Amino acid sequence: MTYIAIYFMLFVALLLQPHFTRHVDDALKPYMQSLAILIILGIAYLVYLLSRRELNKKGEELKVSQGKLLESFEYIGKFNRRLPLLKNLSTDLLANPKLTKQHKKIIFSDLLATAIVSIAKANWGLFRLVEISSKRTVKEFIYTAPDYVLPQQFFGNSELVEIHNQSAKIKTVGKFNIIPVSDEEAEIQGFLIFPKPAVDLTDEYLVLQAIVDQMQLFYKYLFV
């Protein structure tokens, strides 16, 4: 029942209440009428308070929904701005049916540079493809900024194989960030490795994940 219907019923009760007290003794009738009016007005005020509380609650829920919607639009905008970076690489690959060894290397280098320079804002990074059963490195592609020396201390593939056990989206080992391919069942799995940045990359995770998954597809397309 809506609040308007309740107000209407109370209004009707207010109009009809003299008829309900006509059998009451004349001396008590004014008191009974006053009591009836007081009860009706009290109920009306209570209904008003309840309606105001519900309106305030809905107003807060609307503000929260609007905030989430704005955040979604902002995130979609960020993601859409990244799409051309991936589209160009895919188009280049499919447009060249006969790829030389050098051209294949350029494809992976461009994809890696996109992830490291444009997204992660890091000085270096690498793609590593690991055979899960033997834990050996099948292929590796490295990017470093000009005049930058790649760190000598890394970690073994055993730690990469176990990285899926971490609950965080962007995995970590020591001072390094790792994003593994989404396909955890693949015999050969790709990993993106780069240093922990000074900025939070949570909003960029899906783009980086898409790049790693695309790298995995490129490997299957070009080398398997």
Residues with Cβ within 8 Å of 167's Cβ and at least 6 positions away in sequence, in order, are none
CA atoms of 114 and 208, how far apart (whole Å): 9
- Could you tell me the end-to-end alpha-carbon distance of the chain, in angstroms, rounded to an integer? 67
pLDDT bucket at 198, cuts 50 / 70 / 90: confident
Q: Are residues 43 and 113 in the same domain?
A: no
How many domains is the chain partitioned into structurally?
2
Average pLDDT over residues 54-71: 67
Residue 182 has pLDDT above 60, yes or no: yes
Beta strands in 59-135 (DSSP E): 124-131
Q: Are residues 139 and 218 in the same domain?
A: yes
Tell which residue, 188, 179, 191, 196, has the closest CA to residue 220.
Answer: 188
Average pLDDT over residues 105-116: 87
Residues with Cβ within 8 Å of 9's Cβ and at least 6 positions away in sequence, in order, are none
pLDDT score, position 25: 59
CA atoms of 6 and 13, how far apart (whole Å): 11
Residue 3 has pLDDT above 90, yes or no: no
Q: Are residues 107 and 192 in the same domain?
A: yes
Q: Are residues 192 and 128 in the same domain?
A: yes
CA atoms of 28 and 54, how far apart (whole Å): 39
DSSP assignments along 25-49, one per residue: -TTTHHHHHHHHHHHHHHHHHHHHH
pLDDT score, position 74: 55
Residue that is last in its domain, among 63, 85, 109 = 63
Q: Are residues 58 and 101 in the same domain?
A: no
> Which residue has tokens 């609650």?
57
pLDDT score, position 107: 84
Choice between 49 and 159, residue whose per-residue pLDDT is larger: 159
Q: Are residues 51 and 147 in the same domain?
A: no
Residue that is last in its domain, among 14, 44, 63 = 63
Choice between 67 and 72, residue whose per-residue pLDDT is larger: 67
pLDDT score, position 106: 82
pLDDT score, position 30: 67
Domain that holds residue 120: 96-223
State the CB neighbour count (10 A cutoff) for residue 105. Answer: 13
Residues with Cβ within 8 Å of 94's Cβ and at least 6 positions away in sequence, in order, are none
Examine residue 76 and state whether it is found in any structural domain, yes or no.
Answer: no
Choice between 153 and 20, residue whose per-residue pLDDT is larger: 153
What is the chain's mean pLDDT, rounded?
Answer: 79
CA atoms of 207 and 80, how far apart (whole Å): 10
Examine residue 80 and state whether it is found in any structural domain, yes or no.
Answer: no
What percent of the chain clears pLDDT 70, i.e. is strictly above it?
71
**CB contact at 8 A, 128 and 160:** yes
pTM higher than the cut 0.75: no
Residue 88 has pLDDT above 80, yes or no: no
Examine residue 164 and state whether it is found in any structural domain, yes or no.
Answer: yes
Q: Are residues 140 and 46 in the same domain?
A: no
Residue 21 has pLDDT above 70, yes or no: no
Q: Are residues 116 and 177 in the same domain?
A: yes
Task: Reduce the DSSP state of residue 140 to 3 states and report it.
Answer: strand
pLDDT score, position 80: 52
Q: Are residues 113 and 182 in the same domain?
A: yes
